[in-house]
Amino acid sequence: MAAITIFGKGNMGQAIGDVFKQGGNDVTYLGNGDPVKDLGDIVVLAVPYPAAISIAKTNLAALIGKIVVDITNPLNFDTWDDLVVPSDSSAAEEIQRLLMDSTVVKVFNTTFAATLKSRKVGGQQTTVMAASDSNDAKEALAAALKDSGVAFVDAGALKRARELESFGFLQMTLAAKETIGWTGGFAVEK
């Protein structure tokens, strides 16, 4: 059982909290303006990318030693044609650069809120993919998700967040065009 704090009570925050609760973890939420204290070992930034950067900058000390989960897809929502992070970086790496004494894990950006909640992508079990330079952090997340109904895949080092974010970006463009539904997307088949 892990103590998990989730910044953000939106669709993604709620779906992620539900998954972790089913996994037997202790989940607490922090909304905008709530005092940042008593953070769990795993802190999920379930907010858009600009807000995640802002939370990181404002709470450097509180996040020291924590596993910080970045779930963002840093789209340019004006154009839907680019990400707002440099093409040779990723949201996760930018957040890790700010949080030198935290361990950032990219995860939950390749599934929609609906497919996390239902544990199904179309007809297949929902799988989340995690990238981090810390194997311990990925193992802690895998353990916390063990009984959650969601499968877990280690996608490699934090640099792979670039590909996870491209994957999430592409999936969102297809859903926005109604080529796929928000209850579908890319399923991981072993």
Residues that bind its own copies (CB under 8 A): 81, 86-88, 121-124, 129, 153-157, 159-160, 162-164, 166-167, 169-170, 173-174, 177, 179-181, 184-190
Decide if 169 contacts 175 (C-beta within 8 A): no
* Nearest by Cα to 44 from 74, 1, 22, 12: 12
Return the number of the residue (78 or 88) whose C-beta is nearest its own copies: 88
CB of 141 to its own copies, least distance (A): 15
Return the number of the residue (134 or 173) whose C-beta is nearest its own copies: 173
Decide if 142 contacts 152 (C-beta within 8 A): yes
Return the number of the residue (149 or 156) whose C-beta is nearest its own copies: 156
Q: Coil, helix or strand for 20?
A: helix
CB of 32 to its own copies, least distance (A): 31
CB of 101 to its own copies, least distance (A): 25
How far, CA to CA in Å, does 10 sit from each of 7, 16, 120?
9, 10, 20
